[in-house]
Structure 1
Amino acid sequence: MWVLAGVATAVAVLVRRARRNGASPVVLGTLFLAALVVAMAQTIVVAVLPVLGRQLGVSAAAETWLLTGCMLAAAVATPVAGRLGDLHGHRRVLLASLAVLVAGSVLAAVADHAGSFAGLLLGRVVQGLSAGVFPVAFGLARRIVAPSGLPGVVAGLSAMFGVGGAVGMVLAGPLVEVLGTPSLSWLCVALGLLALAGAFVIGEPEVRAAAGKLDVGGALLLSAALVAVLLVVSQGRTWGWGSAATIGTAVAALGSAIAFVLVELRVAAPTVDLRMLRRRPVVTVNLATLVVSIGMFAAVTLIPRFAQVPPAAGYGLGATAAGIGLLIAPMAVIMVIAAPLGARLTARVGGRTTFQVGAVLAAAALVALAVAHDAAWELATAGAALGLAYGLAFAALGTLVVGAVRPEETGAATGINTILRTVGGAVGAQVAATIVTPAAGPPTDGGFTLAFLVAAVAALLAAITARAIPRPTRTRPSAPHAR
């Protein structure tokens, strides 16, 4: 509960800072809560995947899809929701996305009670569809928050992506040990309903809707490409990297991706506006986002997995689900603190510098984990450093994205960026699992060391990539109406 209290405090700080510039506390509190609960829903199963696998009688490869399936659905839903927000209003899509979160969480809870893996996976996929909250929250904020308060709001929303993910992992262990695994889904139901109630009172200024219609073909091709890519990453070792199944799936992924690009460049109103990626500020920010997300999710899945290994294996801590929650708690607490800190630092030195500081710090913490990870205090200390690092990095990303595009492009731009965060997270989690799981026999300590080093390289590459981001320019918001 003290973790939730810390989150509430961080949200209150962000709301208070933005309110001084004329933003409504109800609006800000709702947007921050909505972003937090959606991010939390994505990662809340990370620390207890082995528990779910044992309860439901599925393999380690299958249980990982409870995370990957949710993130895959999120990657597809994000650009669709952004486009629907442009067509029909961001508030309407925010309400719909939160309703989907509640429905998916109820389905997951019921399936978990019944011991149905298929039902739980379906519920997780439906939960992932609620990721449309992110692009519409950015779009809504840009239209109803005063210009002076917008940078802090954008930074706060970006930080909620990381904070929510960390909080979900921390709360999962204690909740499962006390109330069982269905409690994870019921928590998402409760918080989702609270955010939904707040969203009903948000006002949105009347503006002319964007022209065009929803690009269904593009959305389907994007889904096919992402499913195929993740199947190759997650199942390639099991199938055999040179097997017909792996090669065929890789060819399908490439073909779907090429078709997606061709379709998106020809339709008048694409699901993902790839033309936007021709601009240097947009492409560099998105590339840095993809790489840093790979490193982050690799790290946050490695720490719980390592801690659960029994000492009889010659390494590991043999931690329980609750113990893992306590181990990850420093990461979550520091990330909560880093949310307002990142907003303040971004306002002073710019998003690019803030992002680079976070990425370099993450690389250093991951190298430390590769060198020393035998004791709980080593994992907790490095985890705290990672919380600060990724809190700063994600707080800066929203400002960088919004500052790189025109006001009417906010929904599309943040949608692309959120897709890349989600895809990077799914790939990072699967790559980490692949590295630590040998083709034959149990995972080894050397595998964890290599995986931590790979994550460190990803974080360092993100910092290097960020050097190519042009100096930030003043955000050009449309005339807002704070309510």
Structure 2
Amino acid sequence: MVDTEPDGRAGRVVGVLALAGIVAALMQTLVVPLIGDLPKLLDTSASNASWVVTATLLSAAVATPVAGRLGDMYGKRRMLLALTVPLIAGSVVCALSSSVVPMIVGRGLQGLGMGVVPLGISLLRDVVPPAKLGSSIALMSASMGVGGALGLPFSAAIAENASWRMLFWITGALALVVAAAVWLYVPAGEVRTVAGRFDVPGAVGLGVALISLLLAVSKGADWGWGSGTTLGLFAVAVLALLVWAWWELRTKEPLVDLRVTGRPQVLMTNAASILVGFAMYAQSLVVPQLLQLPEATGYGLGQSMMAMGLWMAPAGLMMMALSPLGAKLSAARGPKVTLSVGSLVIAVGYASAQLLLGSTWGLLVVTLICNTGVGLAYGAMPALIMGAVPQHETASANSFNTLMRSIGSSVSAAVMGVVLAQLTTDFGGHALPSEAGFRVALVIGAAVGLAAAAVAALIPVRPAAPALAQEPTPEPSPAAG
């Protein structure tokens, strides 16, 4: 039997974990307003400066499944506290950086903190009363969207009115607040953990596969999709993934239990997660560009970075505001239905963009619709995953699911980049993405949303776990923490 907190204290725990998720997600969009200035600020080339963004992506991808497994082994609260350390240290390193190498190191450290979100979701299963579990998971899932959406206006405002270094001092202070809040308010000792050894070969193998894949996807446009480097990285990724899967199926204590991951409910949910991650990220690439391109193009809206961030922020808040609705839908009809509905809403949002391009208010409506769908889908995914895995594997399974979303987002960035780079128009001697390019990108987003809905509709949910709001008593774990 899992110990849970009384309703009052459970609400405080959910609030602390949601704050942790917001701060971790904030790190992802933190440097967006600085991208154009980074070469001058760090005395480096634009190509080298791009690694400031790539380093966070790579470290987050590798660290998330590792943190999940360690959370299952040694306690989720303990790992939450451990992940705040690189968030704080990375912020300090970035704030003190005057060249590109330490900045890349600092951003890599900040990326390690993304494991906070799946760990927090998994911890909710251990400490929140069953009647409030569905809404708590939806709220925690929404923290990713809130953090990402608020990051743009937050960082733009500071970058325009103070030293860029202040960005990192503030995020370091926020991470310190999160660490203190987790230490004081998140319960310890109730979680039963898994005894055994950590799968080092599995972690290394998955790390090699992910780094190779994400490097090829994120840098392929710069290096050339047909270049030896890009193709070589794709080949290494495939080979490393095959060897890793072979090892994971042979070892007694795998990093990721592929037999559990291969269960139809988990497998199909992860497949849908890749598609939702793709659809979520596409609009966050297309809409900001439309808002900031010059009005003289005929389709750009001429907004500043700060104004663009403010127009995008309500969409992130919408995710959190509607999280209770998603939880109620999951409780009434099951998270499979919520994931399907959320994916369809995303598709509707993209389709509406064909009529609403050309005004800031129209694009605001598009982002609100899309993020409403994302919020519904993100809240349903952990419910589906945790309804199909043993209690002692929730952190690992949720972390793997988060990784699937990240891979979808990375592929989205590459695909949207290719589309917008191929469909261009000449503006004052410079090639800019054309209106047709943006419309094609939005059609792709709608199609992927529909594909996610179709996959979600095929998820074979076990009758014993229609929704976490009515969750049965989890089976006991092998060892006490």
Q: Specify the TM-score bucket, using the shorter chain as the normaliser.
A: 0.7 to 0.9
From 50, 55, 59, give the equivalent of 1:73: 59
Which residue is 1:225 aligned to?
Answer: 209
From 346, 352, 365, give the equivalent of 2:349: 365
CA contact (8 A) 1:107 1:119 kept: yes
Q: Deviations over 1:8-40 (max 9, x none)?
A: xxxxxxxxxx98846533322211111221122
Distance in 2, Cα, partners of 1:267 & 1:337 = 43
Deviation at 1:127, TM superposition (A): 0.7
TM-score, scaled relative to structure 1? 0.87
Matches within 5 A, 1:295-306: 295-306=279-290
Which residue is 2:440 aligned to?
Answer: 450
Structure 1 residues 30, 333: closer, same or farther in 2, change over 3 A?
closer
Comparing 86-95 and 331-340, the one that deviates more: 331-340
Identity of aligned residues (%): 37
Distance in 2, Cα, partners of 1:220 & 1:394 = 28
Structure 1 position 98 matched with structure 2 position 84: yes
What SS does structure 2 have at the residue aligned with 1:442?
A: strand
Distance in 1, Cα, partners of 2:101 & 2:324 = 40
Deviation at 1:92, TM superposition (A): 1.1
Structure 1 residues 109, 460: closer, same or farther in 2, change over 3 A?
farther
What SS does structure 2 have at the residue aligned with 1:24?
A: helix
Structure 1 residues 69, 454: closer, same or farther in 2, change over 3 A?
farther
Distance in 2, Cα, partners of 1:350 & 1:313 = 46
Deviation at 1:288, TM superposition (A): 0.7
What SS does structure 2 have at the residue aligned with 1:443?
A: strand
From 24, 43, 49, give the equivalent of 1:38: 24
What SS does structure 2 have at the residue aligned with 1:417?
A: helix
CA contact (8 A) 2:218 2:413 kept: no
Structure 1 position 192 matched with structure 2 position 179: no
Matches within 5 A, 1:118-267: 118-201=101-184, 202-205=186-189, 209-267=193-251
Cα RMSD (Å) of the superposition? 2.6
What letter matches 1:27 in structure 2? V
Which residue is 1:433 aligned to?
Answer: 417
What letter matches 2:316 in structure 1? A
Deviation at 1:140, TM superposition (A): 2.2
What letter matches 2:80 in structure 1? L
Structure 1 residues 219, 151: closer, same or farther in 2, change over 3 A?
same
Structure 1 residues 370, 254: closer, same or farther in 2, change over 3 A?
farther
Long gaps (5+) in structure 2: 425-429, 477-481
CA contact (8 A) 1:170 1:332 kept: no
What letter matches 2:81 in structure 1? L
Deviation at 1:48, TM superposition (A): 4.8
Deviation at 1:217, TM superposition (A): 1.7
CA contact (8 A) 1:102 1:189 kept: yes
Distance in 2, Cα, partners of 1:23 & 1:149 = 12
Deviation at 1:448, TM superposition (A): 2.1
Which residue is 1:117 aligned to?
Answer: 100
Which residue is 1:25 aligned to?
Answer: 11
Q: Deviations over 1:37-85 (max 9, x none)?
A: 1122123334553344564466666555433331221121111111111
Distance in 2, Cα, partners of 1:65 & 1:452 = 27
Deviation at 1:309, TM superposition (A): 2.3
Long gaps (5+) in structure 1: 1-17
Deviation at 1:336, TM superposition (A): 2.8
Distance in 2, Cα, partners of 1:208 & 1:384 = 40
Equivalenced residue count is: 460
Structure 1 position 293 matched with structure 2 position 277: yes
Which residue is 1:469 aligned to?
Answer: 459
Structure 1 residues 60, 370: closer, same or farther in 2, change over 3 A?
farther
Distance in 1, Cα, partners of 2:105 & 2:296 = 36
CA contact (8 A) 1:154 1:399 kept: yes
CA contact (8 A) 2:16 2:178 kept: yes
Deviation at 1:314, TM superposition (A): 4.8
What letter matches 1:108 in structure 2? C
What letter matches 2:131 in structure 1? S
Structure 1 residues 51, 331: closer, same or farther in 2, change over 3 A?
farther
Matches within 5 A, 1:394-409: 394-409=378-393
Deviation at 1:293, TM superposition (A): 0.4
What SS does structure 1 have at the residue aligned with 2:432?
A: coil
CA contact (8 A) 1:358 1:388 kept: yes
CA contact (8 A) 1:143 1:479 kept: no
Q: Deviations over 1:359-404 (max 9, x none)?
A: 1111121123245422222212211212222122212222222112
Comparing 244-253 and 339-348, the one that deviates more: 339-348
Distance in 1, Cα, partners of 2:459 & 2:25 = 26
What letter matches 1:323 in structure 2? A
Comparing 337-346 and 280-289, the one that deviates more: 337-346
Which residue is 1:424 aligned to?
Answer: 408
CA contact (8 A) 1:285 1:401 kept: yes
What letter matches 1:450 in structure 2? V
Distance in 1, Cα, partners of 2:307 & 2:183 = 38
CA contact (8 A) 2:150 2:309 kept: no
Structure 1 residues 295, 64: closer, same or farther in 2, change over 3 A?
farther
CA contact (8 A) 1:160 1:339 kept: no
What SS does structure 2 have at the residue aligned with 1:211?
A: coil
What SS does structure 2 have at the residue aligned with 1:268?
A: coil
CA contact (8 A) 1:402 1:410 kept: yes
What letter matches 1:352 in structure 2? K
What letter matches 2:29 in structure 1? T
CA contact (8 A) 1:172 1:321 kept: no
Distance in 2, Cα, partners of 1:62 & 1:447 = 27
Distance in 2, Cα, partners of 1:217 & 1:379 = 47
Distance in 1, Cα, partners of 2:370 & 2:163 = 29
Which residue is 1:459 aligned to?
Answer: 449
What SS does structure 2 have at the residue aligned with 1:437?
A: helix
